[in-house]
Amino acid sequence: MVTEVQYGGRITDDLDRELMNTYGQQWLTDAVFTPNYIFNTTFTEFSYAIPDSSEHTKFMEAIAAMPVKDSPIIFGMHPNSDITYRLNESLAMLTTLIDTQPKEASSAGGKSREEEVKEKIEKELLPQLPPDFIEAEIEERLKMLKGPRGLNDSGKAIPLNVFLFQELQRFQMILSIVRRTLTNMVLAIEGSIIMTPDLVEAIDSVYDFRVPRPWVYDPTGAEIAWLMPALGSWMKGLLDRHFQLNNWISKERPLSFWLTGFFNPQGFLTSMKQEVTRQHKAQQWSLDEVEYQTDVMKEIIFGDDGKIEGKQLPQMAEGVLIHGLFLEGANWNKTDKRLEESLPKDLFP
């Protein structure tokens, strides 16, 4: 009644509903009326127990004795969840402080905010940008790309090549937005074009080393690119994504794919499944009947340029090798090859 009806209409996420039902099964039982019942036995620093009394003052005293800050352990959560909460809280506070700072003050060197932003754009950001992908050139290069062993098609007849074409189009859209925004900021600072509110906001973001909103969200608020807290890490993500896509289209498909560097990783996996199905066309495999199977390989070191250092990757008869995945809320046991509880203070293994 409480978890499904009272709160069920307000909690819409499936996992949140499952969590609420778990709390209900654990706490809304007859056991809470037994003497010395404790809500969480794994937390030893404080005993969360129902007072064995019918007096109002006893309950108020028990409430007053509770810790000011509850540990995540009493809610069945890992202590690392408190670190995540505190980090998000600190980030929100710092963002608010930056947003409320005066915008017109000049720096110690005598340069205005606009002059500093203009210098940063012209000397650092614009020179970093990779060249644009020309769609006509991409079409020609795609014709030369072949598929895996056992699949004699080429060009757009290969599912992963179609996926690559779509990723290049999406990346070029983001690259064009970035280049256009940076160029317009310089022109607006010089007075060649009108300084719009969007450009003012973008200039403030670059000055504060944050990512301008048009690079990440479209006018409707939908997410169109990867999320990073700082401008430097976001630009590095842009260059890393260009490196993978450019190497793929200009040379050959990578030995291992950086899965988290794609806009549509699910589309990548679906395309890979289509290729495996076509490899077994003689056996009349059906796409709907093919299931994913993932094997965690031994650790392989990748250099800063994305190249593999000193080890030869195994040749895949079917399927693909991927890298770049990370965990949140769990740890990977390399010896037993299984998931386990997170290590203290290790948020993203």
The predicted model gives 107-135 an average pLDDT of 87
pLDDT(312) > 80: no
Q: What torsion, rounded to 10 degrees, do the Cα atoms 90, 94, 100, 103 define? A: -170
The predicted model gives 190-198 an average pLDDT of 92
pLDDT band at 71 (very low <50, low <70, confident <90, very high): confident
Q: With CA atoms as reference, report the closest residue to 247 among 205, 307, 297, 204.
A: 307
pLDDT(245) > 90: yes
Could you tell me the pTM of the whole model?
0.77
**What pLDDT score does 70 carry?**
84
- 2-6, 170-174, 247-251, 273-277: lowest mean pLDDT where? 2-6
Greater confidence (229 vs 41) lies with 229
**What pLDDT score does 311 carry?**
59
Which of the 8 DSSP states describes residue 256? E
**Residue-wise pLDDT tens digits, 21-33:** 888 888 888 888 8
pLDDT(151) > 80: no
pLDDT(337) > 90: no
The three-class DSSP label of residue 348 is: coil
Amino acid at the residue 45: E
**What pLDDT score does 164 carry?**
95
Q: Give the range with max mean pLDDT: 97-101, 103-107, 154-158, 273-277.
A: 273-277
Tokens of 135: 């769609």
Which of the 8 DSSP states describes residue 281? G
Q: Give the range with max mean pLDDT: 117-121, 141-145, 316-320.
A: 117-121
Decide if 73 contacts 40 (C-beta within 8 A): yes
For residue 127, what are the contacts with CB-CB under 8 A and spacing of at least 6? none
The three state secondary structure string of 79-146 is: CHHHHHHHHHHHHHHHHHHHHCCCCCCCCCCCCCHHHHHHHHHHHHHHHHCCCCCCHHHHHHHHCCCE
pLDDT(271) > 90: yes
**What pLDDT score does 100 carry?**
82
Question: How many CB atoms neighbour CB 106 within 10 A?
Answer: 12
Greater confidence (120 vs 30) lies with 120
The predicted model gives 161-179 an average pLDDT of 95
pLDDT(315) > 70: no
pLDDT(263) > 90: yes
Decide if 257 contacts 323 (C-beta within 8 A): yes
**What pLDDT score does 251 carry?**
87
Contacts 24+ apart (CB under 8 A), 202-210: 203/113, 203/114, 203/117, 204/103, 204/113, 205/231, 206/117, 206/120, 206/121, 206/125, 206/231, 207/113, 207/116, 207/117, 208/98, 210/98
Greater confidence (310 vs 268) lies with 268
**What pLDDT score does 50 carry?**
82
pLDDT(305) > 80: no
Which of the 8 DSSP states describes residue 6? I
State the average pLDDT for the chain. Answer: 86
The three-class DSSP label of residue 340 is: strand
pLDDT band at 189 (very low <50, low <70, confident <90, very high): very high
**Residue-wise pLDDT tens digits, 137-150:** 999 998 888 777 66
Domains of the chain: 113-340 (1.20.1270.280)
Q: With CA atoms as reference, report the closest residue to 217 among 206, 229, 208, 226.
A: 226
**Residue-wise pLDDT tens digits, 101-112:** 776 655 556 678
Q: What torsion, rounded to 10 degrees, do the Cα atoms 124, 222, 86, 209 define? A: 10
